[in-house]
Amino acid sequence: MKRLVMAVLAACLLFSQPALAEDGNDANFAQYNVQVGFSPFGGSLNFGYNVSSRTSWNFVLGGLPAGVLELEQDIGGTKYTHQSNASWVGAFLSHRPIESARWFRVVAGFGIGRIQNELTDANGNTYSADYTGNPVGYLGVGFGGKAEKGFIYGLDIGWLQTGGPDIKLVEGTADAKAMADIKDHIFFGSVLPNVQLTLGYGF
């Protein structure tokens, strides 16, 4: 996964070079942007540097405070109350490979931080499923978020490649099947899906 991310990053940088000269003549080209984002892993503050109209770096600080998000989930036939918190930083490179469709982006990057999950069943048994391995790779695609002046918005869809969660019993009686079911659930695997909305301003 990390080799694939590095290959995508290298390709993005290579293809960005021809567009540099064009941007000097584009009055609407924005060198920088600031955005706020919203995803399952919390809110984020994004600082963007547009290398060209087709290639951009984004440096992100994000997190989800404890107690903000509480969900009811059915995992392996057992209902849990799920609480989560997270804190992370990341660096991501976006490239717009199609000249006539610069609203489409390919995104790759890395994140460093932690994601902590706590699941409690009806009997009071509580399990943790925490991600602390660093760094994690990210690959995805994006729509919107052009390198233009003024208000910008975007939608990103992708996945995080992690080393998987560390699942432990926090309180109560351990159940091997319950722990295995949690590990096999899509929300607690080594690959985590991500969807993010961003709003910002280019200048």
pTM exceeds cut of 0.75: yes
Label residue 122 exposed, middle or buried (CB < 10 Å: 0-12, 13-18, 19+).
exposed
Cα-based distances in Å from 36 to 15, 111, 172: 27, 17, 39
Domain boundary assignment for the chain: 2-16+38-202
Question: Is the domain 2-16+38-202 a CATH 3.90.79.10 member?
Answer: no
pLDDT at 133: 86
Average pLDDT, the chain: 90
Determine contact, residues 35/46, Cβ cutoff 8 Å: yes
- Non-local CB neighbours of 28 within 8 Å, separated by 6+ positions: 148, 149
Label residue 160 exposed, middle or buried (CB < 10 Å: 0-12, 13-18, 19+).
buried
The closest alpha carbon to 163, from 132, 195, 194, belongs to: 132
Cα-based distances in Å from 113 to 40, 157, 198: 15, 20, 20
pLDDT at 42 over 90: yes
Secondary structure string (H, E, C) spanning 172-193 = CCCCHHHHHHHHHCHHHCCEEE
For the stretch 106-126, pLDDT in tens is 999 999 999 999 999 999 999
